[in-house]
Amino acid sequence: MKLNFPFDPLERSASVESIVMRDNKRAYHRFRSARYYGGIATADAVGCSFLCAYCWNYFRNLNPGQSKEFYSAHRVATKLLSIAQKRSFRLFRITGAEPLLGEKSLDHLEGVLEIICQAEPESVFILETNGFFLGYRPELAEKLNFKNLRIRVCLKGTDEESFELITGAKKEYFEYPFRALKELERQGIQAWPALMEELFYPDEIDYLEKRLRDFGISSQLEFESLEAYPFVVENMRKRGILKE
């Protein structure tokens, strides 16, 4: 995809969704067990509204049209349930991309959740999202009111400037994930913000936490760890993100 920085993430979301969604099927590139959260059945999707410099799936999300295989919600759920059964996992997730690009991808996710929650009523599904689409369309958060669902909203900066530098998206969209978090809290859906701690100084993190409180968000900030693959380090160097 041709892309000029900074880009409009609304336009990118719509464009990417049109590529990675085919009817109610979505592009995925693998299904696996993963060590995170103590062991979790994982589906790696393709396509994101942002293009974060530190993303481990950067090149697939840069060119989502390269993915050739599309999966229905039923097929995704079946693969995840099979992994969980073999490994005795009770945790599920979709990662590697943004699960919520628009209404079509939301409907697909909703289908996956319905099947897994019915098959494993005591399981937990962890939704890893950048919160952008839910911030743009907060009224759609009600579609995610599953008792098994936990939503981790991954913030991509501590202010407008760092957000634009990291994501490639225009800085005016920085607070959209805040809107998502506030609406999720209002609806009683368990959600919290997360941040890549290594990229920021303590005073920058303090500033972000204050802005979250001022926005009316009470959930505690979780800290993520950077997966410093060589290409990730090079991407961050090109964007001028690395701390000296």
pLDDT tens, position by position, 8-56: 999 999 999 999 999 999 999 999 999 999 999 999 999 999 999 999 9
Query: DSSP string of the chain?
Result: ----SSB-HHHHHHHHHHHHEETTEEEEEEEEEE-GGGSEEEEEE---SS--TT-TTHHHHHSGGG---EE-HHHHHHHHHHHHHHHT--EEEEESS-S-SSHHHHHHHHHHHHHHHHH-TT-EEEEEE-SHHHHHSGGGGGGG--TTEEEEEE---SSHHHHHHHH-B-GGGTTHHHHHHHHHHHTT--EEEEEEGGGS-HHHHHHHHHHHHHTT--SPPEEE-----HHHHHHHHHHT----
Summarised one tens digit per residue, pLDDT across range 72-89 is 999 999 999 999 999 999
Name which residue leads in pLDDT, 78 or 227.
78
pLDDT at 237 over 70: yes
pLDDT at 1: 61
Summarised one tens digit per residue, pLDDT across range 98-116 is 999 999 999 999 999 999 9
Contact 64, 20 (CB under 8 A): yes
pLDDT at 142: 95
pLDDT at 244: 56
Structure tokens at 65: 């049209």
pLDDT at 5 over 80: yes
pLDDT at 94 over 80: yes
Calpha distance 9→27 (Å, rounded): 20
pLDDT at 243: 63
Band of pLDDT at residue 218, cut at 50, 70 and 90:
very high
Summarised one tens digit per residue, pLDDT across range 144-161 is 999 999 999 999 999 999
pLDDT at 38: 95
Question: How high is the mean pLDDT of the chain?
Answer: 96
Give the residue-averaged pLDDT of 108-129: 98
pLDDT at 225: 92
pLDDT at 47: 97
Walk me through the domains of the chain, giving residue ranges and CATH numbers: 9-239 (3.20.20.70)
pLDDT at 67 over 80: no
pLDDT at 240 over 80: yes
Phi, psi of 44 (to 5 degrees): -95, 110
Band of pLDDT at residue 68, cut at 50, 70 and 90:
confident
